[in-house]
Amino acid sequence: MERFALDEEDAFRAFVKATPRALVLLRGVGCAYSAAFERTFTAERAPEGWSRVVRQVEEGGRGPVGEALGVEVTPTVVAFVAGAEAARLPGKLLVGISRGSYLRWLRTLARVDLSGR
């Protein structure tokens, strides 16, 4: 599992672009909901062929990094295929992401266009 801090924008973009399929947890720095969900994200296996990445963003998506990635609530999970966003699971304000909703969302990835177009 790869991890990128707030100041690692270039390395993060290069990694996502070079990785065929990546599940990225956009984790708010200082966000208790992100910290709680990160335990689920790291404990659950990614679907076959998917890499997992934890990317720090400003809490709640505020700031240049969160805004560039379109984060409205932290945590948020984004599936990237060939560097392009293919699916997104946003957290809910003051709730985060539950294990059950994450597992259901992972099952929907089977319907995502994996051609990289």
Listed by start position, the domains of the chain span 2-106
User: Which bin fits 100, alpha (ψ -120 to 50), beta or left (φ > 0)?
Assistant: alpha
What integer pLDDT is reported at residue 113 of this predicted model?
Answer: 58
Report d(CA 57, CA 34) in Å as an integer.
10
Whole-number Å distance between alpha carbons of 68 and 52: 20
Q: Looking at residue 115, what is its pLDDT? A: 59
Write the DSSP symbol of residue 59: G
In one-letter notation, the amino acid at residue 49 is: G
Neighbouring C-alpha atoms within 13 Å toward the C-beta of 59: 7
In CATH, what is the architecture of 2-106?
3-Layer(aba) Sandwich (3.40)
pLDDT in tens, 2-12: 999 999 999 99
pLDDT number for residue 56? 95
Give residue-wise pLDDT tens across range 64-111.
Answer: 888 888 999 999 999 999 999 999 999 999 899 999 999 999 998 877
- Span 18-22, mean pLDDT? 95
pTM score:
0.91
For the cut 60, the answer to whether the pLDDT of residue 116 exceeds it is no
DSSP string, 90-113: E-BTTTB--HHHHHHHHHHGGGS-
